[in-house]
Amino acid sequence: MDEGMIEEAVRLLLRGLGEDLQRPGLQDTPRLVAEASQVMLTGYRRDPRQVIEVIEGPNEIVLLRDVPFFSVCEHHLLPFFGTADVAFLPDGGRIAGFGSLADLVDVAARRLQIQERLTAEIADALEAVLRPRGVYVTLRARQLCMQMIEGRQLGSETQTLAVRGAFAEESGRGQLLALLAGGRR
């Protein structure tokens, strides 16, 4: 990531808004935005597939719920944030630790994204690394672009879903839905 280019882009944006770059509240803004970008968009420096730690375990459904994430909408450069549920049905005893599932969500989210693609990328990474019999990923999020720009969707939540393999079939879907329904408070 080129912090100098990010700083210059922020200066251009502020000038375009008619702001005085020497105003005390704005003097550090280009640098602060560049520094924040280094943190918010760390996903560009890591491959989501490489954070999945494969370990040995039983061939039973694994489900991690309510994993918090935040990302930045590639259309408006505004945040969207929410939670992810990630499940898979192992094959051959290849499972992932819960921490690496949370890391997968985090790394994939820390890029300019759209929620639909983020959901698919998480599912695809699990499928590529674990080669499970089934994958299920759902993201629930609040999109600030919808709430701040369009304004009429205040408080709305979006949900996206990616289903692969056995969970797309009737029997596997039934097992997963029973598990999902049983754990909500």
Q: How many domains does the chain have?
A: 2
Please check whether residue 145 is in contact with residue 159, taking contact to mean a CB–CB distance below 8 angstroms. no
CA quadruple 41, 42, 44, 47: dihedral sign: negative
Residue 12 CB neighbour total at 10 angstroms? 11
67 shares its domain with 86: yes
pTM of the predicted structure, to 2 decimals: 0.89
pLDDT at 185: 47
Q: Residues 17, 34: one domain?
A: yes
- CA 115 to chain centroid: 7
Compute the distance between CA of residue 109 and CA of residue 69 in angstroms, rounded to an integer: 7
Query: Residue 93 sits in a domain of what CATH number?
Result: 3.30.1130.10
Mark whether 62 and 79 lie in a shared domain. Answer: yes
Is 59 in the same domain as 29?
Answer: no
- Residue 161, pLDDT score: 93
Helix/strand/coil for 24: coil
Domain extent, residue 35, equals: 3-40
Clarify whether residues 98 and 13 are in a common domain: no
8, 63, 90, 95, 181 from 60: Cα distances, Å:
52, 10, 6, 9, 17
**Domain shared by 174 and 97, yes or no:** yes
pLDDT per position in the chain (185 positions), as tens?
A: 899 999 999 999 999 999 999 999 999 999 999 999 999 999 999 999 999 999 999 999 999 999 999 999 999 999 999 999 999 999 999 999 999 999 999 999 999 999 999 999 999 999 999 999 999 999 999 988 887 876 667 778 899 999 999 988 876 666 677 667 775 54
11 and 59 fall within a common domain: no
